[in-house]
């Protein structure tokens, strides 16, 4: 369901993310900024974001997200990089701004509409994360940190499957 795991580094942030032969499917990422560890369900590329946004507008999304006590729903706007006003938009060095985040347990589709309605246009795109984050001190103090992370991945797999419209693992 999740395909290949890719590992890399974006400026100073190490990461790992899943991909499949289906670029429209949302994926999981594990990111390691300096102060925390983040596990995300990601709708970043346009086709993924469209699929995730469609799901986030449903009652099923509200029900599923309310069960994710320690997660956040995060909405971003991406603005394509352009060398000049006439240049074609380039999406690999885009500017990214967070529009808002909300505790998943308090999520509702109206919040999404409110935070995304003025951010459509040529050269812009929405992106989404469903995120669980741990600060390093919290994570290191857990004797069972690996088990905790494993359990969180297990909790998110049915969400990923539902968004992607595939059978639950």
Tokens of 98: 């967070």
What's the rounded Cα separation, in Å, for the pair 56 and 38?
Answer: 20
Residue position matching structure tokens 């999304």: 61
pLDDT at 92: 72
Cα 1 to Cα 117: distance, rounded to the nearest angstrom: 32
pLDDT value of position 119: 67
Burial class from Cβ neighbours inside 10 Å (0-12, 13-18, 19+) for residue 99 reads middle
Residue pair 48/25 in contact by the 8 Å Cβ criterion: yes
Domains located in the chain, CATH noted? 4-164 (3.30.930.20)
Q: How many CA atoms lie within 13 A of 155 on its CB side?
A: 19
Per-residue pLDDT tens listing for the chain (169 residues): 667 787 877 777 777 888 767 888 999 999 888 889 999 999 998 899 999 999 999 999 999 999 998 999 999 999 888 777 777 776 777 788 899 999 999 999 999 988 877 766 678 889 999 999 998 887 777 778 888 888 999 999 999 999 998 765 5
Query: In this structure, what token pair is assigned to residue 45?
Result: 């590329």
Q: Is 140 helix (H, G, I), strand (E, B) or coil?
A: helix
Task: Let me know: does 158 contact 167? Beta carbons within 8 Å.
Answer: no
Are residues 43 and 53 in contact, defined by beta-carbon separation less than 8 angstroms? yes
Q: What is the pLDDT of residue 84?
A: 72
CA separation for the pair 155, 168 (Å, rounded): 11
Nearest in space to 134 (alpha carbons), one of 28, 1, 37, 2: 37
What is the pTM assigned to this prediction?
0.87
Query: If phi over 0 gives left and psi between -120 and 50 gives alpha, with beta otherwise, what is residue 161?
Result: alpha
């Amino acid at each position: 369901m999740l395909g290949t795991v890719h590992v890399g580094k974006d400026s100073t942030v190490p990461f790992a993310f899943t991909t499949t032969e289906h670029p429209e499917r949302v994926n999981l990422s594990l990111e390691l900024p300096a102060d925390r560890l983040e596990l995300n369900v990601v709708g970043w590329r346009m086709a993924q974001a469209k699929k995730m946004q469609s799901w986030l507008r449903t009652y099923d999304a509200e029900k599923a997200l309310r069960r994710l006590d320690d997660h956040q729903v995060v909405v971003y706007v991406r603005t394509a990089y352009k060398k000049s006003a006439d240049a074609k938009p380039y999406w690999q060095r885009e500017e990214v701004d967070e529009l808002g985040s909300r505790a998943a347990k308090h999520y509702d589709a109206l919040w999404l509409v409110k935070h995304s309605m003025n951010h459509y246009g040529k050269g812009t795109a929405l992106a989404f994360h469903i995120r669980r984050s741990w600060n390093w001190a919290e994570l290191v103090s857990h004797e069972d940190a690996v088990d905790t992370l494993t359990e969180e991945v297990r909790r998110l797999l049915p969400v990923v499957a539902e968004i992607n419209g595939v059978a639950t693992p």
